[in-house]
Structure 1
Amino acid sequence: MSRPITPLALTVLRMLCDGPMHPYEMQQRIRDHAYDHAVKITHGSLYHSVERLASCGLIEPLETSREGRRPERTVYAVTTAGRDAAQFRLAELLSRPTEEFPLFGTGLAFINLLPESEVARHLRSRAVALEAALAGHQTAHDSLLKQGIERYKLIDQEWLIARLRCELDFVRGLGDDLESGRLTWKDNETRAICHPRPRPRPQLNDDKGAS
């Protein structure tokens, strides 16, 4: 594929590595395994991804069948090239940090557009939502472990829970700093508007510095 394999395409390849199946069965497995908690998936996007993988030779149709008046269902299998591509892409995702642009970061970048008290109030609301999400995911995770689900199948949930905890701590701390006055921008509003934010200085390579 000329472009990197998308998370949804990787999901399709991963499922087909377990055995051939048709897209409708993929949808059911996605729900059963909660893949839609880790990857954004819609009905249309799943079928589009399947078609694109097939056109690239990463999966191949095995048979097409029809039951009654239902639409035809094509069973697909992963090819050797598809399995290799999935393993390569997974290695990339695990080993290389990728620059992402979460919406919360956008809000923090322009935080001084609102008064400190209003920002603190919004952060308190966010903290409540994070607490609820954290409790829900932790309960679901613990329940699955008690049911005997292997830990390796829940590692993405562990990561989600860790991220929620980290964000909750950050949001609470930032709210405390705003409410106590330790953080303010009242006296710097004009300067902040007229002058751009300083860019982080790049880190020097240790090898170059030693030469």
Structure 2
Amino acid sequence: MMILGLVKWMQPVHGYDVRRELLSWNADKWANVQPGSIYHALRKLTEEGLLRAVATEQVGGRPARTTYEVTPKGEDEFDGLLRGHWWQVEDTADPFAAAFSFLPAMPREEAAAALRNRAIQLRARVDWMRASLDSNWLRETKPVHVGWMFELWSARAEAEVAWCERIAERIEAGVSYLPAGLERAEGWSGWQERLPDRPFDAK
């Protein structure tokens, strides 16, 4: 959606300018758009009929530059993606959530320390975003809604800081990882024995 939207906004536009704009937004950090994939994405969108190449020019010994614009089909696709993301809450991949699902594999002391370290890193991000919100740089060089995005990211980070500290305290206090009502002495093997048979385990 990002590349399609930028072409729609800047058209007619070279791929180089799309890449430069995305880099200025740091989109690789929050929109899953990698700089090295932009030219490939432009070609793919063109093959799918969402963009069209309107000109190709070459100056001196520099690589040829293709100018793109959005097709009517691309307009419809962008509008659908835009409104879909506005109106729907979607799950996003979170590597930390994947790692946290294996919490019992971590020694308690290390798990608690890692969570507190995560809180420190997140708090540093919050401090940077708050400083940015108070800066002339943001007020004078960015649209107002960019500041609102910073507020969103800051709120999310602050919530995770509180969660990290809360869970670290529980881990340090020795709260059992086992389901409620299960004797701790039984351990993980006892828990697994109580689980219902799974179809793919049957022989």
What's the TM-score, normalizing by structure 1?
Answer: 0.78
Which residues of 2 match residues 32-111 of structure 1 at below 5 A? Answer: 32-111=24-103
- After TM superposition, what 4+ stretches of structure 1 lie above 4 angstroms from structure 2? none
Q: 2:139 aligns with which of 143, 146, 153?
A: 146
Q: Distance in 2 between matches of 1:16 and 1:189?
A: 62
Q: Judging changes above 3 Å, is the alpha-carbon distance between structure 1 residues 43 and 145 closer, same or farther for their aligned structure 2 residues?
A: closer
Q: Distance in 2 between matches of 1:156 and 1:192?
A: 43
RMSD after superposition = 2.5
Q: 1:134 aligns with which of 123, 126, 130?
A: 126
Q: Distance in 2 between matches of 1:52 and 1:189?
A: 58
Q: Distance in 2 between matches of 1:123 and 1:162?
A: 18
> What corresponds to 1:12 in structure 2?
3
1:114 aligns with 2:131: no
Q: Is the Cα contact below 8 Å between 1:12 and 1:50 reproduced in 2?
A: yes
Identity level (%)? 23
What's the TM-score, normalizing by structure 2?
Answer: 0.81
1:176 aligns with 2:169: yes
Q: Which has the higher contact order (CA 8 A, sep 6+)?
A: 1
**Count of aligned residue pairs for this structure pair:** 188
Q: Is the Cα contact below 8 Å between 2:28 and 2:35 reproduced in 1?
A: no
Q: Tell me the alpha carbon deviations over residues 13-55 of structure 1, each in whole angstroms, 9 at most, x when there is no partner.
A: 1111222111101111112333333222333310111011001
Q: Tell me the alpha carbon deviations over residues 134-155 of structure 1, each in whole angstroms, 9 at most, x when there is no partner.
A: 2223323432443263322344
- Secondary structure, aligned partner of 2:134: helix
User: Any stretches of 5+ residues in structure 1 without a counterpart?
Assistant: 1-9, 199-211
1:191 aligns with 2:187: yes
Task: Quote the offset at 1:11 in angstroms.
Answer: 1.0
User: Any stretches of 5+ residues in structure 2 without a counterpart?
Assistant: 196-203
Q: Distance in 2 between matches of 1:142 and 1:153?
A: 13
Q: Judging changes above 3 Å, is the alpha-carbon distance between structure 1 residues 121 and 139 closer, same or farther for their aligned structure 2 residues?
A: same
Task: Quote the offset at 1:190 in angstroms.
Answer: 5.2
